[in-house]
């Protein structure tokens, strides 16, 4: 079975487009008013005719039709294409977004650099889950384990790591704001999703970043134990008095006593 991630799994399905008959002024206004758009596929009744970027608009008169400034000969992808192959196209062509079309050339999505990165991040988590599950099976013989993917409330999580680092926390916040968060890895030590004893095994920086952005829930891979056992990470949490994510210490090594600033050295 081919397990390679496909473009259709990671592309953005709802795509903002412009018409070849729109004017430069109209599209410029849309770019200015949009949330992060720096270009649009140019479509007539969903058939892709080109792509226009903010750079294409710079030197053009406001009343010029987009058809006169767009790039008409553009690369497009098939939804069945592997993300890895699409990433090679994006990298080698120097583009940031790759329109995805069906067999009739109609736009059905768009794959961006961000989508490619997200696909690679999400492939890492199952490997972590598998390794953790194998360890638990070896330590707790006879206890049945299962895996599920679900949203978990941050307020229900018991942390198992006593500190995180401010610089990495900033990086995780940046990723969350761009939809790049890797799912958490959580152990449910009761086997009940309704009354769960949830221990956070991986994702402490991501959880605190989400909390700072007022995100109440996160996607997680949850390893569910059929019966309650004495977990090593539970002992770690108890040892450091960790009962909720607010108990995690944030360490900023930029303020370490052995780190100086040039201003203080003068």
Residue 246 pLDDT > 90, yes or no? yes
Span 233-246, average pLDDT: 93
Query: What pLDDT does 211 receive?
Result: 95
- Gap between the Cα atoms of 73 and 50, Å rounded: 6
Residue ranges per domain, the chain?
7-115, 142-255
Q: Over the stretch 169-203, which tens digit does the pLDDT of each residue have?
A: 888 898 888 877 789 999 999 754 444 589 999 99
Provide the CATH number for the domain formed by 7-115 in this structure: 3.10.580.10
Q: Over the stretch 59-70, which tens digit does the pLDDT of each residue have?
A: 899 999 999 999
- Here the tokens at position 213 are 């952005």
Q: Over the stretch 42-64, which tens digit does the pLDDT of each residue have?
A: 999 889 999 999 999 998 999 99
Q: What are phi and psi of 164, to 5 degrees?
A: -130, 170
Radius of gyration of the chain (CA): 24
- Gap between the Cα atoms of 92 and 119, Å rounded: 18
Neighbours of 19 (CB within 10 A): 17
Q: What is the pTM of this model?
A: 0.60
Please say whether the structural domain 142-255 has been given the CATH code 3.90.1530.10: yes
């Amino acid at each position: 079975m081919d397990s390679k991630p496909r473009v259709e799994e990671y592309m953005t399905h709802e795509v903002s487009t412009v018409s070849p008959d729109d004017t430069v002024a109209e599209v410029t206004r849309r770019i200015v008013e949009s949330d992060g758009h720096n270009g649009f596929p140019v479509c007539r009744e969903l058939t892709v005719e080109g792509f226009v970027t903010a750079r294409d608009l710079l030197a053009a008169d406001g009343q010029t039709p987009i058809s006169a400034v767009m790039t008409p000969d553009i690369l497009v992808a098939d939804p069945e294409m592997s993300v890895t192959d699409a990433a090679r196209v994006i990298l080698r062509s120097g583009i940031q977004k790759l329109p995805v079309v069906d067999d009739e050339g109609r736009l059905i999505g768009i794959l961006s650099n961000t989508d490619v990165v997200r696909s690679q991040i999400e492939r890492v988590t199952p490997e972590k889950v598998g390794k953790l599950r194998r360890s638990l099976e070896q330590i707790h013989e006879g206890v049945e384990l299962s895996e599920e993917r679900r949203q978990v409330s941050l307020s229900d999580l018991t942390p198992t790591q006593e500190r995180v680092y401010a610089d990495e926390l900033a990086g995780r916040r940046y990723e969350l704001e761009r939809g790049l968060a890797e799912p958490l890895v959580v152990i449910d030590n009761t086997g009940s999703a309704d009354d769960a004893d949830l221990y956070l095994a991986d994702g402490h920086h991501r959880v605190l970043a989400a909390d700072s952005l007022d995100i109440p829930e996160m996607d997680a891979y949850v390893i569910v134990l059929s019966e309650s056992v004495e977990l090593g990470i539970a002992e770690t949490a108890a040892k450091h008095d960790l009962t909720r994510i607010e108990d995690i210490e944030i360490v900023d090594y930029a303020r370490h006593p052995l780190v100086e600033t040039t201003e203080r050295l003068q």
